[in-house]
């Protein structure tokens, strides 16, 4: 057997027509996650879900270019439009994936927004868009794609969270208990997030024991949602985890965690 045929056979055995979707993959962490998955030899298709079509196509070209340095065969890499937080966009993405592949094996929820410290937008005006994208958008997209993930092989969901999502950001012991409760449901979690948003709008969030960071609260909610999905989807063979990434010099340092 020639080396090229052997390589093709090995790739086919490993990849097994596996599909990976990475959101917010046109730059930064999302781009490098997509690149590493593409180079892993474990997937036949890598899809970049991005809001900006030009940047999405550029990212695809960059990844394909780097794959040319590897022995063939390599996975196909493509872009699909995704505006996280827009339910119509979520539904369209699912439809495209279902028509093209019929399933998803790995979903990496990386897309998110964060207002910079120097941004003049008032705190209360930053709250809703941050929660709508980072938490509500992630939840809605994931729920939209769960039927496709349940058809996947060794299916996995990885949510990119943040160290900002720590439970102790909540001064209120009662709120910490609610977020950390083993009996929390997605409905109860949404109610907590809605209450936080309402208290921010009314200027009572500090008095009521909430965290001071909209971004931190959105990522805390993502971590709790991860725990809920992990329990609910275990019976469907879907592994659900979250991780965070931080800089160490010029490199990213990754850690995976499942507890608050």
Residue ranges per domain, the chain?
Answer: 3-120+134-166+222-257
What local confidence, expressed as pLDDT, does residue 151 receive? 97
Q: In this predicted model, what pLDDT tens digit does every residue of 222-256 receive, in sequence order? A: 999 999 999 999 999 999 999 987 654 444 444 44
Q: What percent of the chain has pLDDT over 90?
A: 82
State the pLDDT at residue 2.
44
Q: What is the CATH number of domain 3-120+134-166+222-257?
A: 3.40.50.720
3-class SS at 197?
helix
Single pTM value for the model: 0.90
What pLDDT score does 203 carry?
98
What sign does the CA torsion over 239, 191, 111, 181 have?
A: negative
Tokens of 25: 């993959």
12 or 126: which leads in pLDDT: 126
Active-site residue, selected from the candidate residues 79, 196, 215, 244: 215
- Residue 79 annotated as catalytic: no
Q: What is the pLDDT of residues 112-159, one digit of tens each?
A: 999 988 899 999 999 999 999 999 999 999 999 999 999 999 999 999
Q: How far is CA 242 from CA 156, 202, 227, in A?
A: 11, 32, 9
163-176: average pLDDT = 95
pLDDT tens sequence across 86-115: 999 999 999 999 999 999 999 999 999 999
Pairing of strands 251-257, 239-248: antiparallel
Q: Is the per-residue pLDDT at 260 higher than 60?
A: no
Q: What pLDDT score was predicted for residue 73? A: 83
């Amino acid at each position: 057997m020639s080396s090229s045929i052997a390589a093709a056979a090995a790739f086919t055995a490993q990849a097994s027509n596996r599909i990976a979707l990475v959101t917010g993959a046109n730059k930064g962490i999302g781009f490098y996650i997509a690149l590493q998955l593409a180079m892993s030899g474990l997937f036949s298709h890598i899809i970049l879900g991005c809001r900006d079509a030009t940047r999405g196509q550029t990212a695809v070209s960059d990844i394909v270019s780097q794959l040319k340095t590897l022995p063939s065969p390599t996975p196909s890499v493509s872009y699909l439009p995704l505006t996280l937080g827009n339910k119509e966009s979520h539904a369209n993405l699912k439809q495209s994936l279902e028509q093209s592949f019929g399933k998803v094996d790995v979903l990496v929820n990386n897309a998110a927004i964060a207002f910079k410290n120097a941004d003049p937008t008032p705190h209360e005006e930053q709250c809703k868009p941050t929660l709508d994208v980072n938490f509500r958008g992630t939840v809605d997209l994931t729920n939209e794609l769960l039927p496709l993930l349940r058809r996947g092989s060794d299916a996995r969901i990885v949510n990119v969270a943040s160290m900002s999502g720590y439970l102790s950001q909540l001064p209120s012991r009662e709120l910490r208990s609610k977020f950390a409760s083993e009996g929390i449901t997605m409905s109860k979690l949404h109610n907590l997030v809605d209450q936080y948003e309402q208290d921010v709008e009314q200027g009572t969030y500090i008095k009521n024991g909430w965290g001071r960071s909209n971004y931190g609260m959105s990522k805390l909610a993502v971590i709790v949602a991860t725990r809920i999905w992990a329990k609910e989807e275990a019976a469907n063979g879907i592994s659900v985890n979250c991780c965070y990434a931080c800089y160490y010099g010029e490199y990213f340092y990754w850690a995976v965690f499942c507890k608050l």
